[in-house]
C-alpha cells in the first residue's frame, strides 16, 4: 500500500507541472489504440471475404506492418518538438549503417 501511495505522489508531482506531457501521452496512446483497432477490423473483414490461409497470413502481416508504420509516423508527428536531438542520433546511426552495408557489399562482390 505504501508503494502505491508513493507511486501516486510521484505521478501527481510529474503531472502537476507538465500538462503538455500528459496531453502528448494521451494523444500517443490514442494513436496507438486507433491504429491497432483499425488493423484488427481490417483483418476481420478480410477473413470474412477470403478463406485461403496463406493469403490471410500475408495480408495480416502487411496490415500489421502498415499499422506499425502509421503508429511510428504518428508518434513522430506528435512528439516532433521534443525529438530534435533524437533525430540527429537516428541520422548518424543510419549513416553508419549505410557505410557498414556498403563495406559488406564491397567485400562480398
Measured distance CA(41)–CA(16) in Å, rounded: 37
Q: Which domain covers residue 108, as residue numbers? A: 80-109
Q: Which residues contact 67 (CB under 8 A, 6 or more apart)?
A: 35, 36, 38, 39
Measured distance CA(40)–CA(37) in Å, rounded: 5
Q: Find the angle CA(15)-CA(20)-CA(24) to the nearest 5 degrees.
A: 100
Total domains, the chain: 2
pTM: 0.63
- Tens digits of residue pLDDT in 53-70: 888 888 889 999 999 999
- Tens digits of residue pLDDT in 80-100: 887 777 777 788 888 888 888
70 and 84 co-located in one domain? no
62 and 38 co-located in one domain? yes
Amino acid at each position: 500500500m505504501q508503494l502505491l501511495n508513493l507511486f501516486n505522489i510521484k505521478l501527481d508531482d510529474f503531472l502537476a507541472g507538465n500538462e503538455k506531457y500528459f496531453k502528448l501521452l494521451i494523444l500517443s496512446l490514442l494513436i496507438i489504440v486507433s491504429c491497432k483497432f483499425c488493423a484488427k477490423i481490417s483483418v476481420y473483414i478480410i477473413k470474412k471475404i477470403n478463406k485461403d490461409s496463406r493469403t490471410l497470413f500475408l495480408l495480416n502481416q502487411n496490415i500489421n506492418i502498415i499499422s506499425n508504420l502509421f503508429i511510428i509516423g504518428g508518434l513522430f508527428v506528435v512528439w516532433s518538438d521534443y525529438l530534435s536531438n533524437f533525430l540527429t542520433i537516428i541520422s548518424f546511426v543510419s549513416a553508419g549503417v549505410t557505410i557498414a552495408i556498403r563495406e559488406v557489399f564491397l567485400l562480398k562482390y
